[in-house]
Amino acid sequence: MKDEIYRVAARLNVPVSVVAGNFIRIPDDPQIERIAAGSGMDAADDWIAERAGPTDIVVTSDVPLASRCVKSGATVLAPNGKPFSEASIGMTLAVRNLMTDLRSSGEITGGPRGFTPKDRSSFLSALDQAIRRLQRASS
pLDDT digits (tens, 9 = 90+) for 33-70: 999 998 888 999 999 999 999 999 999 999 999 999 99
Question: With contact defined as beta carbons under 8 Å apart, do 119 and 81 qualify?
Answer: yes
- Tell me the pLDDT of the chain (139 aa) as tens digits: 899 999 999 999 999 999 998 888 999 999 999 999 988 889 999 999 999 999 999 999 999 999 999 999 999 999 999 999 988 887 888 777 777 777 788 777 666 678 899 999 999 999 999 999 999 998 7
Helices (H), 13-60: 43-51
How many domains does one find in the chain? 1
Q: Which domain holds residue 81?
A: 2-138
Could you give the angle at which helices 2-12 and 117-138 cross, rounded to 10 degrees?
30
